[in-house]
Amino acid sequence: MSDTPLISTDGLSVTFRINAGAFKKFDLKAVEGISIDIPKGSFFGIVGESGSGKTTLGRALLKAVDISEGTATYDDGEVEYDLKDLSKVDLFEYRKRAQLIFQDPYAALSPRMTVRDIIAEPLEVMGITKTRTDTDERVREIAAKCRLNLEHLRRFPHAFSGGQRQRISIARALVSGPKFIVADESVAALDVSIQADVLNLLKQIQSEMGLTFMFISHDLSVVAHTCDHVAVMYLGRIVESATTSELFAQPRHPYTKALFSAIPSLDPDDRGTAQKLEGEIPSPTNQPPGCKFHTRCPFAIDICKSTEPKLEKSPDGHAVSCHRWQELLDESAA
Amino acid sequence: MSLLDVENLTLQFRTDEGIITAVDNVSFSLEPGEVMGLVGESGSGKSVTAKSLMKLNPGNAIYSDDTKITLHLDSGPVDVMALRNAREMEVVRGGAVSMIFQEPMASFAPAISIGRQMVEQLLVHSDMNKKQAKDLSIEMLDRVGISDASTRFDQYAFELSGGMRQRAMIAMALSTKPKLLIADEPTTALDVTIQAQVIDLMKDLVTEFNMGIIFITHDLGVVAQTADKVAVMYLGRMVEQGPVREVIRHPHHPYTQGLIAALPKLDDLEAPLVPVPGDIPSPLERPPGCVFHTRCSKIIGDVCKTDVPQWVQTAENHRAACHLCEEGSGA
């Protein structure tokens, strides 16, 4: 890992303009004020419930949606891009370097294309390989990495199981030789027995090819096992961010703690001991004032309802945005 | 007396590619007030098994002759296989048996308000009038924790959040006071925090209504939190059955052991994730012998490839279908 992060954002916001009738328009802030550094070669996890803005953040970094405010830069040592204002030519180049793996391997693959064509398509579209022999060679090489055999390449996606399809999606994302991969809920649609296999494959590919992953998931236990750094999002903001071991050893934000205790325990005698969170995530069109989490937080006091806490970073790199985290930490230690 | 007895359930589908065996000789029973977790990966036949109880499988389904599904109601036993037409089947479709589906958005009609759908089924399954049905529906919505129930009653499915929709689904399923509730992956599409709420709600309702629940899921954590007993299915066959503590702490079948090992565990982050190797075979190419032998790491020889393993009792009410298991001892 070198010193300059691969992706660095400062105050990144994404706003969608919603048309609600002929003259009614309003802005929906899906992601607000995100400042993160994703180090080269890291497995960076983003966790949150649906509606927390984690997918939008991933898409903004891939330039699939526009960045409204703030800055985002990409620097892989060879090239440097300002992601907010990318020229058409640069965007074309950036697409080779940043790729997405989708959630649902059943929807992501065209049923009318053979696996070979699915994997080869990015090469042809991006003009990476010049001849058919080159393309085939590259496809075979990447397919082998993703544990697909030559026999598989001639078939159509319907002949494959969920785990195999996800491996095809991974091969397609990797074929252009990217440096940065956003994996958006890439194992959420898979059975547990297969999920472990795909996670192991992602880890193996990452270390072999020196890639940087942004791993978006709602499942803390999956993130715990794969990522080396985790950021927790709630209603478009990062509420806590730390290395995985630090976050899991000592979660500081009440929301992170609640996410942990909501994971169903495998111990049948450990029922109902968890501290449950009431209510649901508010709509991003109607955000509460102050701390966005105060409507569901069991520890909310008056200041939480009026003032939004800042993301405070301790010297050890553990950042949290909560008015009372220190106090709560001391309390639980006492 | 048990609430439900399923014996030798065998179900095949006639398709263009040939006959597919979806469920192979499955037997189990359920007591009133008991929650059974039905576990397995996609393609294991767990949903098809549950749908058989309501005869909801499509027209190309063929049940074997010795399949016997009996529902014991206050009014006497019902032989589900003998139900022929829609009128006769009302008793298992929304009457004494209700079902909650995985995707609540797909299960509610989008252009009819939640309330009208709830009232409609009450009019079919009970002798209430519209007013009584509406009052009961609002009361049920309130009961499952939907605030402002009388407003929600007039809303449409798209106006509710995912968790709210699943609550409304549960309210609807329970308003006919079923004896048996089938919940097919009811929390899979929900966030963990909402999943925890829905699980709590279902636990409260079991105690209150004293009904039997079949809880279909692929998440063993959810099973550990909700079920009294567990049945594990693989490729249409039941491979292990037993009380939840027994099965999770001392799994005997290599497949159950594999499912537990594949779960990411929070108490040891460094522990490697161990997948169950390979993929579930196509139902068109069902392996002979033990259906799991193609992926099994503990295969003991040709017997696994040729002979179908019989049930072996390993502890009280705990049994597994594996050649490795011997009476009274662990595999």
User: Please, what sign has the CA dihedral across residues A16, A21, A25, A26?
Assistant: negative
Q: Which of A196, A197, A264 comes nearest B221 by C-beta?
A: A264
Task: Give the chain B residue whose CA is nearest to the CA of A255.
Answer: B193
Residues A192, B262: C-beta atoms closer than 8 Å: yes
Is this model's pTM higher than 0.90 or not?
Answer: no
With a pLDDT cut of 70, the percent of chain B lying above it is 98
Residues in chain B closer than 8 A to A272 (CB atoms): 200, 203
Decide if A112 touches B, using CB distance below 8 A.
Answer: no
Instruction: Please compute the mean of the pLDDT values over residues A32-58 and round it to a whole number.
Output: 92
The values of phi and psi at residue B140, to 5°, are -65, -40
In the numeric block, the tokens 């005698």 are attached to A269
| Closest CA relative to residue B172, chosen from B141, B148, B135, B145 | B141
| Closest CA relative to residue B77, chosen from B67, B60, B93, B91 | B91
Q: Taking all residues of chain B, what is their mean pLDDT, rounded to a whole number?
A: 88
CB pairs under 8 A between A and B: 125
* No. of helices (H) and no. of strands (E), chain B: 12, 13
Res. A273 pLDDT band, cuts 50 70 90: low
All structural domains of chain A, each given as residue ranges with its CATH number in brackets, are 7-250 (3.40.50.300)
Residues A268, B248: C-beta atoms closer than 8 Å: yes
Q: What residue type is assigned to position B219 of the chain?
A: D
Decide if B41 touches A, using CB distance below 8 A.
Answer: yes
Residues B264, A194: C-beta atoms closer than 8 Å: no
Residues B221, A263: C-beta atoms closer than 8 Å: yes
Measured CA distances, B117 to B121, B159, B271 (Å): 7, 15, 48
Q: What is the pLDDT of residue A107?
A: 87
Residues A164, B273: C-beta atoms closer than 8 Å: no
pLDDT in tens, B106-121: 888 999 999 999 999 9
- In this prediction, the answer to ipTM > 0.85 reads no
Query: Can you identify the CATH homologous superfamily of domain B4-96+178-321?
Result: P-loop containing nucleotide triphosphate hydrolases (3.40.50.300)
Q: Is B130 exposed, middle or buried (0-12, 13-18, 19+ CB in 10 A)?
A: exposed
Residues A262, B192: C-beta atoms closer than 8 Å: yes
Q: Which of B195, B269, B271 comes nearest A248 by C-beta?
A: B269
Q: Which of A193, A277, A278 comes nearest B262 by C-beta?
A: A193
Q: Where are the domains of chain B?
A: 4-96+178-321, 107-177
Decide if A84 touches B, using CB distance below 8 A.
Answer: no
Res. B263 pLDDT band, cuts 50 70 90: confident
pLDDT in tens, A182-217: 999 888 878 888 888 899 999 999 989 999 999 999
Decide if B6 touches A, using CB distance below 8 A.
Answer: no
Residues A266, B263: C-beta atoms closer than 8 Å: yes
Residues A267, B224: C-beta atoms closer than 8 Å: yes
With a pLDDT cut of 90, the percent of chain B lying above it is 43
**Dihedral class, residue A175 (left if φ above 0, else alpha if ψ from -120 to 50, else beta):** alpha
Q: What is the pLDDT of residue A274?
A: 61
B317-328 core/surface letters (b: 16 or more CB in 10 A; e: else) = ebbbbbbbbeee
